[in-house]
Amino acid sequence: MNAPTDVVVRTRDLWKTYPQEPEPVQAVRGVTLEVARGEFVAMAGPSGSGKTTLLNLLGGLTRPTRGTVEVAGHELTALSDRALATLRLESIGFVFQAYNLLPVLSALENAEFTLLLRGVPAAERHRRVLEIFSEIGMEGLEGRLPGKLSGGQQQRVAVARAVVGEPALVLADEPTANLDSAASKALLEMMEHLNHEHGATFVFATHDPRVMERAHRLIRLVDGAIESDVQQEVHAHPPAAP
């Protein structure tokens, strides 16, 4: 693999060990990798392979036992908890399997929540969210509460929340796990669009073959270590229906 010239993520000899009896569990073992700006990467592997732990390490949600993580030029392992929280807010977008939308907020309010925390004025927040919503087929649903949206629509709102602040990195943990085939396909096409049109850098943790197929780069993990890391041929797909 050629060294990326514009590196968003860099890890060096990354380990995560969890104390457990009768012996500690090595969830991540000696992972060294780089992700360039604009990549669309899937980290795949069976349950227990370490992909979610590695994703959490990249996002600063978990601190490593050994090794270093850099995101957007900042070494996460050197930051205080407060500085790490600020970096996550400003530079990392998260998409979770369970959507993690606030039930009392509308779709628009959920999508703009990160911008609200950043102190972006209301008019600018609304403008940016409505622009994203128009691209991902969410027009007319801005005022709906999460409970009035389908699973696919809720996950679209979650992705909009993750990308609207133009973070350096978007981390998605099993984003299609709770979706049916049609909703999964539409969500992946939407994220490909955001990657292509906005240059958003995506790293997925997944065991979904559909995500693996669409990834431009596939990293396979076994027992917490990288087994393979390959660039994939990207096939054209028809655009998602709104």
Task: List pLDDT tens digits, range 114-163.
Answer: 999 999 999 999 999 999 998 888 889 999 999 999 988 998 999 999 99
Give a yes or no: residue 82 inside a domain: yes
CATH code of residue 163: 3.40.50.300
Tell me how many domains the chain contains: 1
Report how far apart, in Å, the C-alpha atoms of 97 and of each of 34, 144, 148, 219 are: 24, 20, 18, 20
Q: What is the mean pLDDT of the chain?
A: 90
Of the candidates 97, 115, 108, the residue with the CA atom closest to the CA atom of residue 145: 108
Report how far apart, in Å, the C-alpha atoms of 188 and of each of 38, 111, 124, 141, 191 are: 15, 18, 27, 20, 5
Of the candidates 239, 189, 186, the residue with the CA atom closest to the CA atom of residue 214: 189
Per-residue pLDDT of the chain in tens (242 residues, 90 and over written 9): 344 458 999 999 999 999 887 888 899 999 999 999 999 999 999 888 999 999 999 999 999 999 999 999 999 989 999 999 999 999 999 998 888 899 999 999 999 999 999 999 999 999 999 999 988 888 899 999 999 999 889 989 999 999 999 999 999 998 888 888 888 888 898 889 889 888 889 999 998 999 999 999 999 999 999 999 999 876 555 444 44
Q: Is the full-model pTM beyond 0.75? A: yes
CA distance 208 to 198: 24
Cβ neighbours of residue 184 under 8 Å, at least 6 residues apart? 152, 176, 208, 210
CA distance 93 to 238: 26
Give a yes or no: residue 237 inside a domain: no
Q: Which domain holds residue 42?
A: 7-231
